[in-house]
Structure 1
Amino acid sequence: MCKITKELNVMRRPDLLVQAASHGSHEYERRRDLRRMLRVAIPPTARAALERLLPIEAELEKRRRTGASTYSLTRHVDILVAVLAEARAFRGA
């Protein structure tokens, strides 16, 4: 089992956060959204995208749990949308 798969398998988030991300995944457009989120000209593979998205999501989760003033629920849902979509692509590959 690779590192990414392990991280995805142990990831636990509040149901409401996951539901919001799941609902938003219907609007996810890989090319457009990864360019914006990761600031890359050409979207990477699903594996490469997850390698960059997972640390961002982990930092957002840390901020959420600690009640940091820098926490953005909108950004967290946005990143989780990408994580869900990229994880589907990664597992399907």
Structure 2
Amino acid sequence: MLDVLGMVGALERPKLLVNAARFGLDDYDRERHLRRVLRTDHLPRPAQALMMLLELESVMDGQRTAKQAEYGIARHLDLLIAIMGEARILRATSRPSVVAT
């Protein structure tokens, strides 16, 4: 099984959708955005948040590809921005620190 960052890296979405999400990444505020996107008061740790976000995004992408009326591009972008933001946080916090001696 792929690790959570590997799962994020394996996502294949339309380039236009990914590029649009990248524009929102610089303004990603975990406290504000993640609460709204996950619709929760409790903020999970980045790895757990990523798993939840990937699950929600998968459903949203299924709606997109099936051209269902329920699909909302704004929600899909919110999910992709949150996925990118949480992946960035997880990468930054999981890197082993190098200590010079």
* TM-score, with length taken from structure 1: 0.91
What residue number does 1:51 align with? 51
CA contact 1:31–1:42 (8 Å) conserved in 2: no
What residue number does 2:99 align with? none
Q: Which runs of 5+ in 2 are unaligned?
A: 94-101
Q: Secondary structure at the match of 1:88?
A: helix
Aligned mates of 1:56, 1:41 — CA distance in 2 = 17
Q: Which runs of 5+ in 1 are unaligned?
A: none
Report the CA distance between 1:9 and its aligned residue: 2.3
Query: Aligned letter for 1:81?
Result: I
Report the CA distance between 1:63 and its aligned residue: 0.7
Q: C-alpha deviations, 1:55-75, integer Å up to 9, x for none?
A: 000111111111011100010
CA contact 1:25–1:85 (8 Å) conserved in 2: yes
Aligned mates of 1:2, 1:68 — CA distance in 2 = 29
More helix as a share of residues: 1
Aligned mates of 2:77, 2:39 — CA distance in 1 = 18
Number of residues of Structure 1 aligned to a counterpart in Structure 2: 93
Q: C-alpha deviations, 1:67-89, integer Å up to 9, x for none?
A: 01110001000110000010111
What residue number does 2:7 align with? 7
What residue number does 1:39 align with? 39
Percent identity at matched positions?
A: 37
Q: Secondary structure at the match of 2:43?
A: coil
